[in-house]
Amino acid sequence: MLDLKLIRNNPEQVQKLLDRRNGNYDLQPVIDLDRQTRELETSRSQLSARGNEIGKSIGQKIGKGADPKGAEIAQLKAEGNEIKTKLSELEPQEKEFKAKIADLLLELPNLPDESTPLGKGEEENVELRRWGDEYISDRQVLPHWEIGEKLGILDFKRAVKVAQSRFVNLVGAGAALERALISFMLDTQIEAGYLEVMPPVLVNSVSLQGTSQLPKFAEDSFQCSNDDLWLTPTAEVPVTNLYRDEIIEDTELPIYHCAYTPCFRREAGSAGRDSRGLIRLHQFNKVELVKIVAPETSDDEHQALVANAEAILQALKLPYRVLELCTGDIGFGAAKCYDLEVWLPAAGMYREISSCSNFRDFQARRANIRFKQAGQKGTQYAHTLNGSGLAIGRTMAAVLENYQQADGTIRVPDALQPYLKREVL
């Protein structure tokens, strides 16, 4: 959520940054409502002060001998009653204005960082570096869904029977490979200093609002109609909201968490895209990295987060590239974002496998996550960051394609062999 004081004091600068997102975001309704609210607050304050003055004056006059039932006292009481009536009208109106402002603020995205490249869409993202070019082969390989079905480890047809399209049934070595990837990723991040949590995968609306999935992305989430619960689209939601409405001591920062959860997304608006394979499923597994840090450290923490995600790809020897997303492509809540894209040889292209975002205080304002520095009065909002470490299904797809052998088997990456207890699938 954007800082209302920032909008009030620097409306032109805030509008300029919002315009960089290549969207239609208008601050004027917020500015107008804020002005009306402050005018109401001023009127209410003046009326309250006058009401207190009248009450004090009545007491003083009666104390000096004025007739409690006299005209002078009656006139003061009538004015006091009129003020009470006006206040009873102003207070709910002020409350309504503030609620409207809050709703409008929830619809506004985060401000892109000044260093975020300008651009209208993904075609203008900036490639920063590539890793593992020597592992890229120009030989023809089968798409991961074909080799997976040939090996009997991916079953899409029966998954459709059980659920619907965009689900998969992992069988035998496929299920074992999924578990191995999850365990390997968690073990790697725990060794890097992250504390593992296993949070609920059903989350309430307040939690989704706190991390900015609601109200913007309601159509992309699965809701339980009988309860105020949703299937989590990412572990970012429950893990970040563990600290909602809390004041954290500065000695507890930085907070690093890693979490494995199944994730659920409708993939609204993606009809026809990646309809085959593991790239765009309604249900998928993911290891998420979440950080809650002090503002002055968040840039360095962001770079470290990206490195933690890259470490998984490097250990698996999967070729990838790093993109810095432009202002027209960064997520709704992000101020700055880097994507990792893994190489899929069957398609001859890189595909996103991790998105590492710095939200600054955007999520913390929505979720009311604050911290207190020793020796200082008051609190300030923390900065939150997260990134996939990694998306499991997409990692499996990359393994099945990059590790295909001429005889139709899959060589198990060295890093996974201790988990799978085998060298070939």
**Six token digits for residue 228:** 């105020």
Starting at the earlier edge strand, list the strands of the sheet with 202-203.
202-203, 229-231, 223-224
Question: What is d(CA 274, CA 325) in angstroms, rounded to the nearest whole number?
Answer: 21
More confident residue, 375 or 371: 371
Contacts of 298 (CB under 8 A, 6+ apart): 358, 360, 383, 385
Above 80 in pLDDT, residue 235?
A: yes
All domains of the chain, ordered by start, with CATH? 4-106 (1.10.287.40), 122-420 (3.30.930.10)
Contacts of 218 (CB under 8 A, 6+ apart): none
Task: Identify the band that residue 246 occupies on the pLDDT scale cut at 50, 70 and 90.
Answer: very high
* Strand partners of residue 321: 130, 341
Report the chain's C-alpha Rg in angstroms. 28
Query: Residue 241's pLDDT is what?
Result: 98
CA distances (Å), origin 40, targets 19, 45, 90, 98, 214:
30, 8, 7, 11, 30
Query: Residue 375's pLDDT is what?
Result: 80
Above 90 in pLDDT, residue 56?
A: no
Residues labelled as active-site residues: 265, 280, 352, 355, 394
Question: What is d(CA 236, CA 290) in angstroms, rounded to the nearest whole number?
Answer: 7
29-55 tens-digit pLDDT: 999 999 999 999 998 888 888 888 888
Above 80 in pLDDT, residue 82?
A: yes
**Six token digits for residue 159:** 């998954």
- Determine the distance from the C-alpha atom of residue 76 to the mean position of all C-alpha atoms in its chain, rounded to a whole number: 56
Above 90 in pLDDT, residue 104?
A: yes
158-208 tens-digit pLDDT: 999 999 999 999 999 999 999 999 999 999 999 999 999 999 999 999 999
Phi, psi of 142 (to 5 degrees): -75, 145
Nearest partner of 216 among 334, 113, 98, 112, judged by Cα = 334
